Amino acid sequence: MSAPIPRRSPGGYTLVELLVYVGIATIAIVVFSSFMVDVSKQAAYARIRQEVHHTGRVLLTRMISDIRNAQSVTITSPKELRLVTPSGSAIRYVWNDDPAILQAEFDDGSGSGTVPLTSSAVRVTLLDFQYRSANTNEISVHLRVAQGNESAAPERRADIDIASAGIRRRSLYQ
């Protein structure tokens, strides 16, 4: 009579047990990795969306504030606004289609300079200045800002489309 074969080796696991453990560990690693990739994609999208929305709101707030406080405001084209500040400095907001950036050109009499108001992380896709009525003191600004990466997947694209109007305040001393 032969001796029975032990089912479990006293020195380790059987081959079947080892394969089951490796399979379970592989499934757990794949699920965890997939979760981490999804979390990092969502975090990146949230950062991009926050940057786009913040930039759009700051740009619109700045332009409306400058319109309200200006001595004079002139719309030279739907994409260009010129205004004179109470100190006599000239500011010109210009939207360039090619690099899709918004620039402010300043001229305080002693010199001029151009400052980009957007970075490469965002693009201005629409800027429209219009007089709201025959009253040239009331100006509407329509602004659309999108993320800088145009090749992003459609579900990962962030943009903001906002509009506001500003009424130039008359100074007490004019």
Tens of pLDDT, residues 123-164: 888 899 998 877 677 899 999 999 888 878 778 888 899 999
Structure tokens given for 23: 């399979």
Indicate whether 117 belongs to any domain.
Answer: yes
d(CA 26, CA 32): 10
Indicate whether 5 belongs to any domain.
Answer: no
For 30, the domain range is 15-167
Amino acid occupying residue 8: R
* Global pTM value: 0.75
Tens of pLDDT, residues 36-76: 999 999 998 999 999 999 999 999 999 999 999 888 888 88
Sheet containing 80-84: give its strands across: 72-77, 80-84, 90-96, 101-107, 112-116
Structural domain total, the chain: 1
* 165: three-class secondary structure by DSSP: strand
